[in-house]
Structure 1
Amino acid sequence: MRFKLRLLLLATSCILFFNACSKELEIYNKPAVYWYAKIIESISEGNIDKADNYYASLQGEHIGSPLLPEATMILAISHMYYEDYLLTEHFLDEYVKRYANSNEEEFAEFLKIKAKYMALPNPRRDQVLIGEAILESEKFKTSYPNSMYYSIVDAMATNLYIADAVLNKTIAALYKRIDKPKSAAYYKAIKPQPWIVWNEIEHAKSPWYKAWFEGDGTESWYGYLIPDTRSVVSRNSISDDEEPNK
């Protein structure tokens, strides 16, 4: 008897659960304020993916709603909070393209630079992203010379220039170590910003559990285990370092 009762309760629970799920999936044709409230509710619960789905419903059913600009910016900032920087840029691009006036565009462009900057926890690992962030920072400074965000963008650009110079220096040393003289010369020839005073630069330090494998960027404790083979260190690697056999 107890077994049958438990089985009945389990079956009832499953039916209620799947019924609730199906009801959630079947929700449509709601007013804009409903979807907006659901977006806010989902973000407050930490369910950013669900918030994205509700945003799609808001945008799909109410393309002209005055709530859309605010919802778009809220999702951009929320994705930045959860360190999802690609989606942050996606929503900011959407905001700039569809809704922003000149002042709002300035703020959105600032957030895009901030997203790129925050996406670089270790500058040694993304040469392209550093370059993109520098270009966008300089573009912002040119476009908005009187911006209230100018000093912040300038500080980020300064750090990015230093990171870029350190990266080039590290790559040159690495190419020298693996006997790629032309590639090493290429990176040595890239002059850092003249205002960089290396004696005053405090290099970033990796946690000990990463430092074991990363080293200082020029060598690692396990280097002797790696055979001497052709390798690509950077997208700017020069392929003819090795002279052809005569």
Structure 2
Amino acid sequence: MKKNIFFLILLGILINACSTKSNEGLYNLTASEWYQQIIKDLQDKDLEKADEHYNGMASEHIASPLLETTLIILAQAHIDEEEYQLAEFYLDEYNKKFGSSRNADYIRYLKIKAKFDAFAVPNRNQALMLESQKEIGAFLQDYPYTEYEPLVQTMLTKFNLAVFYLNDTIRDLYNRTGRIESADVYQQKLQESEFYKQNIIKPELPWYRSVFEKF
């Protein structure tokens, strides 16, 4: 009887120990082990775990060179999943830890690209458009000879075109509602645009979105 009780107690201790161990978070890993775990998380499409394991890696290895690569990988992973605010967080972290004159234009470019990729529905992102236009203008002024200049110029053109069509939509709304003075303000904006009187095919929304996107 005593042996059975002893056996049950021992079994309970072992089960509890195994359960506790399985529920513990990772800790005290080498930088390389953390890095491999984060890569595995990304392969498993588990960005939440990847973020959690980055925190562990950053707290245990604050000076590891592997952090540089990890931050860029995580930023790109969040961009791919359309989680642009988290992507900007990692890019800001990269800039704080590893930013230099050597890669400053690259980080600025990635942040602009994150905003550009977030720009899916123009009529819902007017503030994003205007902010991005300013950021691109500042970027081109700060880095006139950057290798990313053609890419950001293309982004800027698309933002400018989106603003042009948004202004055209607003002008049309004011005309239809009899607010002629306001319509004239937007007509002036259209005339100052590089796209005014150009033969450009206006993009059309699918029928299931046009109902909601038109003013």
Shorter-chain TM-score: what band?
Answer: 0.7 to 0.9
Query: How far 1:34 moved relative to its partner?
Result: 1.6
Identical columns (%): 35
Deviates more, 1:110-119 or 1:22-31: 22-31
| Structure 1: segments with no counterpart, 5+ residues | 1-14, 219-246
Task: Note if contact 1:161-1:193 (Cα within 8 Å) is conserved in structure 2.
Answer: no
Task: Note if contact 1:39-1:51 (Cα within 8 Å) is conserved in structure 2.
Answer: yes
In structure 2, the CA distance between the partners of 1:193 and 1:86, relative to structure 1 (3 Å rule), is farther
Q: Which amino acid aligns with 1:207?
A: P
Q: How many residues align?
A: 200
- Cα distance in 2 between the residues matched to 1:193 and 1:113: 25
- Cα distance in 1 between the residues matched to 2:52 and 2:139: 32
Higher share of residues assigned helix:
2
Using structure 1 for the length normalisation, give the TM-score.
0.73
Task: Note if contact 2:95-2:104 (Cα within 8 Å) is conserved in structure 1.
Answer: yes
- Cα distance in 1 between the residues matched to 2:29 and 2:191: 56
- Cα distance in 2 between the residues matched to 1:103 and 1:54: 28
In structure 2, the CA distance between the partners of 1:51 and 1:193, relative to structure 1 (3 Å rule), is farther
SS of equivalent to 2:53: helix
- Cα distance in 1 between the residues matched to 2:25 and 2:166: 52
Task: Note if contact 1:172-1:183 (Cα within 8 Å) is conserved in structure 2.
Answer: yes
Deviates more, 1:98-107 or 1:174-183: 174-183
- Cα distance in 2 between the residues matched to 1:198 and 1:55: 52
Task: Note if contact 1:165-1:192 (Cα within 8 Å) is conserved in structure 2.
Answer: no
SS of equivalent to 1:103: coil
Q: Which amino acid aligns with 1:137?
A: I
Task: Note if contact 2:129-2:159 (Cα within 8 Å) is conserved in structure 1.
Answer: yes
Q: Which amino acid aligns with 1:140?
A: F
State the partner residue of 2:131. 132
- Cα distance in 1 between the residues matched to 2:33 and 2:191: 53
Using structure 2 for the length normalisation, give the TM-score.
0.83
Alignment of 1:1-246 (within 5 A): 19=19, 23-191=22-190, 193-214=192-213, 217-218=214-215
